[in-house]
A and B are shown apart, each in its own frame.
Chain A
Amino acid sequence: MIAQIEQAAAQIAGIVGWETIRIVVGLVGVLVVVLVNALVLTWAERKVSGHIQRRIGPKEVGPFGLLQPIADTIKLLAKELLTPQNVEKPLYLLAPTLIFVPVLVSFIVIPFDSYLQVKDINVGILVILAFSSLSVLSILIAGLGSNNKYSLIGSLRSVAQNIAYEIPLLLSLLAVVLMAGSLSLKDIVEAQKGLWYVVYQPIAFLVFFVASVAETNRTPFDLPEAESELVAGFHTEYSGMRFALFFLAEYTNMFIVSAMITTFFLGGYGGPILPGFVWFFIKTYLLVFVFLWFRWTFPRVRFDQLLNVSWKLLIPLSLLNLLVTGGILKI
């Protein structure tokens, strides 16, 4: 069986090259990770919120409610895909699919282990940051295409929030880049072999963490999708699987951002005894747990306060941090 697969692979490699096969296999693996992650996170969110609130989360469907995400998926697939009458059809239909593209591209450069990276682009950070800005575009398209004034307001709020918080994201990363001396993610992980960057750059770590909570639209910065506020957000007009895609994108975003924090500050796949990717997943999911923990503890920040936190607190802090890092490194 294995011999046959190897033969077939060698034949295809003759035509397109080993590198292409590697990339295709990597992309399939990335898709699997994304989907499994979404399933795990929907279950984990409900269980974690349940236990924080002194109650059991899902427990009926499968042992410990483990099959709950499957039940949710079946329910969402079976729902009617309502398309309201006056929506801009191309924009409306494009938005849920477009929201996945930047996330999947960002997965290409994340090193799950020293050999488990789809492609080590030497400007990896730029790729990730550029594509995460693209996700803002899909939110805007969703709001515009919905032909609904509430969705428009919600998506504009979301766009303003995303843009405001990208800057501290970038600035805190620059400090890490200065220390590692390279934009490639693998090099940054390798440079943390001695001591993780979180020890050298605590402020950058905190700024990056807070900015990433805002980037993924999680509480306390989840005004765009606030339930008890008036405006239901950019995904008001979406139902069924399209709505599920938005939430899938949010969970995947959470994973990406935690993976980024792990790579830049917590040493990536480094760690004793256990294989690298196990450490990677442990660290990433611990950070995801912190995201869930935040959601069920804090109230929401008001919109003007949200923008104030970014412009008046995070940006000056990260700029200062960058200056100090640069000063210490070069002197």
Chain B
Amino acid sequence: MSGLTNPAAIIKGAYSLIVGLGVTIKAFFRPVVTSQYPREVIDISPRFRGHTKLVGDPENPERTLCIVCGMCQKSCPSGAIKKVEGEKKEGEKKKTLTTYILDFTTCSQCGICVEVCPTDALAFSADYNPVGFSREDCRYDLVNEYEQRRAL
């Protein structure tokens, strides 16, 4: 410490320490800024990128807007969309989606699948705390999830 023989520097240094102490003691008496997750439910912004979800057809809620073209599966950079299968039902012009498996462990939430979908059948969900005990729990069957949401 070079200023040791210099009393002005010592006083200035000591004053800076006291100023620093003042900052922390002021913070001590102010309210905490943490939120008690998971006990406290957090407001999620509408654009939050959780896992993707299927969007229902507004005219016919029994089916989703998906036409099983496979564009999302082809453009996913991580290969997270494992299975997109559908069948052509009687009297319908386009295919109906039966299986859509998303492996969320490799999804990077880039939004490319949502963007390239020609019918806007995919959207982001607001699920911010998905939990599971094994990798299998993170393989989402989005058609099932859509049916469950519709039942609610």
* Chain A positions near chain B (C-beta within 8 angstroms): 48, 50-56, 293-294, 296-298, 305, 308-309, 312-313
Give the residues from 10 to 64 in chain B that come closer than 8 angstroms, CB to CB, to chain A.
10, 17, 20-21, 23-25, 27-34, 36
- Interface of A, helix, strand, loop or mixed by DSSP: helix
Q: Please measure, in the bound complex, the distance between the C-alpha atom of A322 and the C-alpha atom of B34, giving whole angstroms.
A: 50
Cβ of B152 within 8 Å of any chain A Cβ, yes or no, is no
Interface size in chain B (residues, C-beta < 8 A): 19
Q: Please measure, in the bound complex, the distance between the C-alpha atom of A298 and the C-alpha atom of B16, giving whole angstroms.
A: 11
Assess the A293–B25 pair: CB atoms within 8 A.
yes
With a CB–CB cut-off of 8 A, which chain B residues contact A309?
A: 1, 4
Assess the A51–B20 pair: CB atoms within 8 A.
no
Query: Beyond the given A293-B21, A297-B21, A312-B4, could you list 7 further A-B residue pairs with CB under 8 A, ordered by the A residue number?
Result: A51-B32, A56-B32, A297-B20, A298-B17, A308-B1, A312-B5, A313-B4
With a CB–CB cut-off of 8 A, which chain A residues contact B17?
A: 298
| Candidates A52, A56, A312, A313; contact of B24 at CB < 8 Å | A52
User: Which of B5, B27, B28, B34 has the most A CB atoms < 10 Å from its CB?
Assistant: B28
Q: Please measure, in the bound complex, the distance between the C-alpha atom of A48 and the C-alpha atom of B36, giving whole angstroms.
A: 18
**Smallest Cβ distance from A50 to chain B, in angstroms?**
8
Closest partner residue, chain B, to A290 (CB atom)? B21
With a CB–CB cut-off of 8 A, which chain B residues contact A55?
A: 32-34
Q: Please measure, in the bound complex, the distance between the C-alpha atom of A312 and the C-alpha atom of B21, giving whole angstroms.
A: 24
Q: Please measure, in the bound complex, the distance between the C-alpha atom of A179 and the C-alpha atom of B23, giving whole angstroms.
A: 36
**Smallest Cβ distance from B24 to chain A, in angstroms?**
5
| Candidates B4, B10, B24, B30; contact of A296 at CB < 8 Å | B24
With a CB–CB cut-off of 8 A, which chain A residues contact B32?
A: 50-51, 54-56
Q: Please measure, in the bound complex, the distance between the C-alpha atom of A309 and the C-alpha atom of B1, giving whole angstroms.
A: 7
Question: Given A54-B32, A55-B33, A55-B34, do A308 and B4 touch, yes or no (CB 8 Å)?
Answer: yes
With a CB–CB cut-off of 8 A, which chain B residues contact A293?
A: 21, 24-25
18 contacts between A and B (CB under 8 A): A51-B28, A51-B29, A51-B32, A52-B25, A52-B27, A54-B30, A54-B33, A54-B34, A55-B33, A56-B36, A293-B21, A293-B24, A297-B21, A297-B23, A305-B1, A312-B5, A313-B1, A313-B10
User: Which of B23, B27, B30 has the most A CB atoms < 10 Å from its CB?
Assistant: B27
B89-100 CB mask vs A (1 if < 8 Å, else 0) is: 000000000000
Assess the B28–A48 pair: CB atoms within 8 A.
yes
Q: Please measure, in the bound complex, the distance between the C-alpha atom of A149 and the C-alpha atom of B120, giving whole angstroms.
A: 65
With a CB–CB cut-off of 8 A, which chain A residues contact B10?
A: 313
| Candidates A50, A294, A297, A312; contact of B1 at CB < 8 Å | A312
Assess the B28–A52 pair: CB atoms within 8 A.
yes
**Smallest Cβ distance from A165 to chain B, in angstroms?**
15
Q: Please measure, in the bound complex, the distance between the C-alpha atom of A294 and the C-alpha atom of B31, giving whole angstroms.
A: 21
**Smallest Cβ distance from A51 to chain B, in angstroms?**
5
Q: Please measure, in the bound complex, the distance between the C-alpha atom of A55 and the C-alpha atom of B27, giving whole angstroms.
A: 10
User: Which of B10, B25, B30 has the most A CB atoms < 10 Å from its CB?
Assistant: B25
With a CB–CB cut-off of 8 A, which chain B residues contact A53?
A: 27
Closest partner residue, chain A, to B22 (CB atom)? A297
**Smallest Cβ distance from A197 to chain B, in angstroms?**
21
With a CB–CB cut-off of 8 A, which chain B residues contact A294?
A: 21
Q: Please measure, in the bound complex, the distance between the C-alpha atom of A305 and the C-alpha atom of B13, giving whole angstroms.
A: 14
- Pairs of residues from A and B, 3 with the lowest C-beta to C-beta distance, nearest first: A312-B4, A297-B24, A55-B34
With a CB–CB cut-off of 8 A, which chain B residues contact A51?
A: 27-29, 32
Closest partner residue, chain B, to A48 (CB atom)? B28
Q: Please measure, in the bound complex, the distance between the C-alpha atom of A308 and the C-alpha atom of B31, giving whole angstroms.
A: 39
With a CB–CB cut-off of 8 A, which chain A residues contact B20?
A: 297-298
Q: Please measure, in the bound complex, the distance between the C-alpha atom of A55 and the C-alpha atom of B36, giving whole angstroms.
A: 10
Q: Please measure, in the bound complex, the distance between the C-alpha atom of A305 and the C-alpha atom of B27, giving whole angstroms.
A: 29
Q: Please measure, in the bound complex, the distance between the C-alpha atom of A54 and the C-alpha atom of B29, giving whole angstroms.
A: 9
With a CB–CB cut-off of 8 A, which chain A residues contact B5?
A: 312
Closest partner residue, chain B, to A53 (CB atom)? B27
With a CB–CB cut-off of 8 A, which chain A residues contact B1?
A: 305, 308-309, 312-313
Q: Please measure, in the bound complex, the distance between the C-alpha atom of A132 and the C-alpha atom of B21, giving whole angstroms.
A: 29
